[in-house]
């Protein structure tokens, strides 16, 4: 898999997700087999560049390259300046956000709202590409299929973006109107891929190795981007890679491996965000790891009251060590389902 001058180890990408894909999460997914990870969305507003939130999102210390930073905004010059700012701080690839469906982003006409204003979208693309060219930094674009079902303009915008110099395109198979509801559709992604010469990445509802293989076959995409399904399940990348290579499912991870991964994740998370913010923002990650495991509801209630980083890690360690006493592997269950201990033993 190639993005301009960068050769990636595989075709499995981590989607940029605000509040989720910080540096510790990206590194964890890379360790479990993701070949590429894009940072959380960084604003193009200069007055926010020095904020703690933005500085944490722009932290790439110890992260393997290529370093990809996603920027969002509505003003072409601001977006160009944001690209230069992040390049000066280590970005090797700049990704333009035209896919975020969040109201607080779209209400300012950023993210996927830009797909309603194709001339402005192209002005932004051209300005960012021009800003990055002197540094030989490729520019990629992430977008949706359109604003609404009757406004699927992604194929047209994709062709114009390629002509403007975009090096790779990622398409989430939903309109902004859908948000994350309903099922992603891949026909539009297949149409886009058929009409472009640059790499195209398929995104949306890729939550299992079997689904990953089906999406690749249906779209002809060059790569896959996994988002929500990797939350609390970073080993999904390893499972997908194994299935694509062999056609066989991979055994689930050992409980001990999950415990060690989560404890390392918490350590890195606390170090980046500090104890006060880190303990609180780690709660959602812990909840995702626990989804479907015995006693998860009760344990989440307990862990959500903890405000000390060391105690948070100790409780997580104890929870998984208890599971290790009777089970080597995690069960193959649907996330989001809390099982009784007996049902969990049967699933395992």
Residue 6, sorted as left (phi over 0), alpha (psi -120 to 50) or beta, turns out to be beta
How far from the centroid of its chain's Cα atoms is residue 95's Cα? 13
Q: Look up residue 100 and give its two tokens.
A: 């975020």
Q: Look up residue 190 and give its two tokens.
A: 């297949």
172 Cβ neighbours under 8 A, 6+ residues apart:
99, 142, 143, 144, 145, 184, 203, 204
Q: Look up residue 152 and give its two tokens.
A: 């699927």
Q: Which residue has the tokens 């001990």?
A: 256
Spatial contact of 331 and 344, defined as CB atoms under 8 Å apart: yes
Q: Look up residue 181 and give its two tokens.
A: 């509801």
- Which is nearest to 127 in space by CA: 150, 172, 92, 94? 94
DSSP state of 307: -
Report the Cα–Cα distance between both ends of the chain, in Å, rounded.
36
What is the C-alpha separation between 120 and 137, in angstroms, rounded?
A: 22
- Pairing verdict, β 2-3 and 6-7: antiparallel
**Residues annotated catalytic, as ranges:** 100
């Amino acid at each position: 898999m190639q993005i301009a001058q960068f050769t990636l180890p595989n075709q499995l990408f981590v989607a940029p997700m605000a509040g989720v894909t910080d540096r510790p999460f990206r590194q964890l997914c890379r360790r479990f087999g993701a070949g590429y990870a894009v940072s959380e969305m960084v604003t193009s507003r200069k007055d926010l560049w020095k904020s703690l939130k933005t500085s944490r999102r722009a932290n790439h210390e110890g992260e393997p390259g290529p370093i990809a930073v996603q920027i969002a905004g509505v003003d072409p010059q601001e977006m160009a300046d944001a690209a230069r700012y992040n390049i000066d701080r280590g970005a090797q690839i700049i990704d333009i956000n035209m896919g975020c469906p969040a109201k607080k982003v779209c209400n300012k006409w950023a993210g996927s709202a830009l797909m309603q204003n194709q001339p402005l979208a192209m002005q932004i693309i051209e300005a960012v590409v021009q800003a990055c060219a002197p540094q030989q930094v490729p520019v990629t674009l992430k977008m949706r299929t359109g604003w609404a079902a009757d406004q699927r303009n992604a194929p047209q915008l994709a062709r114009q973006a390629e002509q403007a110099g975009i090096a790779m395109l990622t398409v989430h198979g939903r309109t902004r109107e859908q948000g994350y509801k309903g099922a992603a559709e891949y026909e539009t992604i297949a149409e886009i891929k058929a009409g472009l010469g640059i790499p195209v990445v398929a995104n949306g509802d890729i939550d299992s190795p079997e689904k990953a293989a089906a999406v690749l076959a249906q779209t002809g995409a060059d790569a896959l981007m996994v988002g929500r399904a990797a939350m609390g399940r970073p080993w999904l990348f390893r499972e997908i890679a194994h299935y694509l290579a062999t056609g066989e499912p991979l055994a689930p991870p050992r409980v001990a491996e999950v415990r060690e991964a989560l404890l390392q994740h918490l350590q890195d998370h606390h170090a980046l965000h500090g104890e006060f913010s880190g303990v609180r923002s780690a709660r959602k990650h812990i909840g995702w790891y626990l989804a479907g495991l015995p006693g998860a509801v009760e344990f989440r209630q307990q862990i959500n009251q903890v405000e000390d980083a060391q105690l948070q890690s100790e409780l997580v360690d104890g929870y998984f060590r208890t599971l290790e006493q009777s089970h080597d592997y995690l069960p193959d269950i649907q996330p989001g389902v809390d099982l009784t201990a007996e049902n969990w033993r049967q699933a395992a």
